[in-house]
Structure 1
């Protein structure tokens, strides 16, 4: 084999290897994107939409998942779960007399349940990120509830908005309490549908973990 032939063969091999590497990297990136999209659902779309580069968004979501996997989470025992459900019932009943206070208490209950489950709940933004890994759908509702609370503080949200906020909090609290329950209750707190007249809407869906 002449020197020219050898050079040509080596060049072809290098090109083929490079093409295969690019194809493999592309397939790996697409598979990772599909996995993140499947796990995070609406949270994936939101994060990609808000990012300058979709790859940065996917990197952020992957970091969230890694951080979440490092948490030591626990299921609540029946006594704890019942106690939090009673607190939630008090939030619902208190809505009639003081909707603003009910929203505040609902947010505090979310933080307490998360802390009991093992989430670092002090940082509100961190709460959203951690929750989005396992509860991407109700995390969107949690954001809505927080946004309504801020609007109310600024005088731009009324009672119906606060009602929606409490219902959104309910979806997240139900999911957190029902995790590991195995009772088939769908994450619904006790006395579902038996709230005082004028209380927040009870009809919510259970968030399923990814």
Structure 2
């Protein structure tokens, strides 16, 4: 076989392999995107919007979050810790009537502390903590983002009371989610009559998203 024929065969094989690789990547792309969209829910749409509609850039960011934090296993809370966090959150909500800004700032601190206790990155690394929370609590993580933004110095002067209240309500959803036992804490779930696992009872808090709040003066 001549050298020219061998070279031609090598070029053909290389071209076939390249085409196969491109087709494989195209086939994987939509499935990968759908998987990320299922996992992150509204957080997926926020990532796309943050990247000005660039879906691939958003998916790269979300995939990197999963790679960094997907293996995190949440630490268990003992009953005393859970009660202390619940009591502090209730106190923050009650403080909201007289001092919305202080209540929101306390909610922000509580979420950072609770997330750190559950094994997420320390609250001093807010962006990294938020990224980790988005991997495991994607449906509610925006509540933390909103309350953290509202808790910044001077936010109370530029943010209306109703907006602060909405931030607290959204943040509470993440707070309650973090109080629940993680999936691998099987022994802490209540068992139903058919042997399955019922969802743990939600902590009792004075605010409810469907209740009307007292009018502020």
TM-score (norm 2): 0.75
> How far apart in 2 are the matches of 1:32 and 1:160?
39
Q: CA deviation at 1:13?
A: 5.5
Partner of 2:176: 174
TM-score (norm 1): 0.77
Which residues of structure 2 form unaligned runs of 5+? 183-187, 191-198, 211-217
Partner of 1:78: 79
Larger relative contact order (C-alpha < 8 A, sep ≥ 6)? 1
Superposed CA RMSD = 2.8
Map residues 165-204 of structure 1 onto 2, 5 A cutoff. Answer: 165-180=167-182, 182-183=189-190, 184-185=199-200, 188-190=202-204, 192=205, 195=206, 201-203=207-209
Partner of 1:102: 103
Higher percent of residues as helix: 1
Map residues 117-196 of structure 1 onto 2, 5 A cutoff. Answer: 117-120=118-121, 121-150=123-152, 153=155, 155-180=157-182, 182-183=189-190, 184-185=199-200, 188-190=202-204, 192=205, 195=206
Q: CA deviation at 1:107?
A: 0.7
For residues 52-109 of structure 1, the C-alpha deviation after alignment (integer angstroms, 9 at most, x for no partner) is: 6433322221111121135453121222112111111111222222221111111111
Please say which of residues 128-137 and 2-11 is displaced more in the overlay.
2-11
Contact 2:114 2:178 in 1 (8 A): yes
Aligned residues: 195
Contact 1:152 1:158 in 2 (8 A): no
Partner of 1:113: 114
